[in-house]
Structure formats: structure tokens, C-alpha cells
Chains A and B, each alone.
Chain A
Amino acid sequence: MLKVVIPMAASILATGVVAQTEIVGNVDSKCIIISETPGVYGNPNPYQLTTAPTNGGVQPIIRYDVLAADYYKAVIEHPIDFSTSPTLDDVVTWTGDVEVSEMSDTNMADYDTNKVEYDNAHEYEMSVAGSTWFKISSTADYGYTKSFPAGQYTAVVQAECIPL
């Protein structure tokens, strides 16, 4: 056995066999949408569902990571309908807002001032590289103080990242 192993080992040492594996990566302009907190509706009144923390709700938080400045705009839409709910036979009145809750760079401080709002959309130009956290609030009022039927209610927040 040794007669076989020793020549093989000597042969490997002589040829200097080295295994190499490359790890490839690119640092490029890109936008990453990160869903940090999904959000929960509280039900403080029979006719109301709200993400307000003071009313038992949890506000959804979305983080945008942008690796280069002035490449992207963020468009966030607060909900204006339920994606799942029991059958509703009266009008639901929706209100909501989007605001910057945290930022990795103080130069992002004017994002809320400079945002463009239309319908339920809030559009932010991502003019600074780094991470920005957006907090979304949403409230649904049913009829004229009418009680929501029992069941599960879900609404979707749309978060988009669009190159400029």
C-alpha cells in the first residue's frame, strides 16, 4: 500500500497542485426593496380598522436600499381597498399616508418635503445613496360608523422602485 501512496504524494507535491475558486461580485447601482415590518390593523371601534399604534395597530415599514444617488425613484401606495375581506355592502372610506421614519444619511431629511403626492401614491426621488425607511399609515372607516362584519381583512401596500 505504501508503495502506491508515497509516489502519488510525491507526484502531487512535485507538480504543485493548487485548487482555486473564484468568488465574483459586482458593486453596481441598484435598488433593493426590503419589507421590514408587515403591518397589522387594529380595530379600536367596530367601524374602523387602523394601523395606528395607539389603537392596537402596527404600521408597515419598508426599507429602500439605493447604492447610487439619483438613479431611482420610490413610489409607495397606501391601500385603497381590501385584497381579502368578508362581503361588504357599504362604502369604505380610506385614508393613509407615507413618511420617512429613519434614514442612513442626514441629507435624506428633506425627502418628505420634496415628495410628490397623487391619488394614494407618494413619490420620492432617491437623491442620496443609502437606506431609507418608510412608515405607512392606513385607516379604513366603514359606512357611517357601521360595524365591519367579522372576518379577516387584508390590504396591500405597493412599493415600487423605478429607475430615473
Chain B
Amino acid sequence: MKYLFLLLFASGYVSAHELTPTYPELRTSYMNDVLEVKLKMWNARVDVEYYKIEVTDEDWNDVPFITREKTFKLEHFGRRDIEIFLPSDTTATYICTRSLLEKGNAQKSIISSKVCSKIK
């Protein structure tokens, strides 16, 4: 049993973070002068439950956007549809989701993941 534990500890765990599509399309929304973009996220990171949405221009400066929750909880193996609303003159280029790591859970060197989509 002791060796099994050591093996599990040494082999770690596999966990993933995914955001699609790569190149989402800006569409007109039901509001005047407001554009909408839809993405899908999948959380297979067992060590992460919270993610943050970031929207930036091509120089990685933040741009204004509206979404239901900028920081949200997503359970392990959970999928989430993300709707983002942007002004019609937006300079938004990158939409990213970044994993948020809980301070209290820190045991070791930990990995923060950020996956982006690009508006072309």
C-alpha cells in the first residue's frame, strides 16, 4: 500500500484546460451597437475550480466587456458556454480564460494555465 501511494504521488495527475473555438466570430447581438461572441470552455483540471475571463486588445491591454460572470466556478469535467458582449467599436482581439489557484491549497510548485481565443 505504501508503494502504491508513492507511485500515485510520483506519477501525479493529469488535468486539462480548453477554450474553443480558436477564432470566434463577432456577431451582432439583440442590442443596438453591441456585438456578441460565444465560446465554450472545458475544465478537466482536478486542482482548479475557478476561472477568470480576460478580454484584451492586440497589445494585451484590457478592453471593456460584459459577461454574466467574469470570474466563475467550473467543476471538474464541467463545460461552460461563455457569452461576451462588446461595444461595436471594440478593439478586442484576445479572449482568454485563466485558472485561479486557491492560496490555501498550495502544496507544491503549481501550474497556472491560460488559454486564449483570437478575434480576427
Interface residues of A (CB under 8 A from B): 26, 28-41, 51, 58, 60-63, 65, 68, 71-72, 79, 83-84, 138, 152, 154-164
Contact B114 A158 (CB under 8 A): yes
- Report the interface size class on chain B: 20 to 34
Contact A157 B110 (CB under 8 A): yes
Interface residues of B (CB under 8 A from A): 10-23, 44-45, 47, 94, 96, 101, 103, 106-118
Contact A33 B17 (CB under 8 A): yes
Contact B109 A156 (CB under 8 A): yes
Closest 8 CB pairs of A and B: A39-B109, A154-B106, A163-B118, A37-B12, A33-B113, A160-B114, A34-B16, A35-B111
Residue of chain B at shortest CB distance from A85: B106
Residue of chain B at shortest CB distance from A78: B109
Closest Cβ of chain B: how far from A66's Cβ, in Å? Answer: 10
Contacts of A65 in B (CB 8 A): 16
Contact among A58, A155, A163 for B22, CB-based, below 8 A: A163
Contacts of A159 in B (CB 8 A): 111-114
What is the bound-complex CA distance between A30 and B16, given in angstroms?
12
What is the bound-complex CA distance between A152 and B15, given in angstroms?
24
Contact A60 B111 (CB under 8 A): yes
Known pairs A31-B115, A83-B103, A163-B118; A157 contacts B47 (CB<8 A)? no
Contact A36 B14 (CB under 8 A): yes
What is the bound-complex CA distance between A155 and B106, given in angstroms?
9
Which among A33, A72, A157, A162 has the greatest number of chain B C-beta atoms within 10 A? A33
Contact A29 B108 (CB under 8 A): no
Contacts of A163 in B (CB 8 A): 22-23, 94, 116-118
Contact among A31, A38, A72 for B109, CB-based, below 8 A: A38
What is the bound-complex CA distance between A13 and B23, given in angstroms?
49
What is the bound-complex CA distance between A40 and B45, given in angstroms?
18
Contacts of B114 in A (CB 8 A): 33, 158-161
Closest Cβ of chain B: how far from A81's Cβ, in Å? Answer: 12
Contact among B17, B47, B107 for A154, CB-based, below 8 A: B107
Which among B20, B44, B47 has the greatest number of chain A C-beta atoms within 10 A? B20
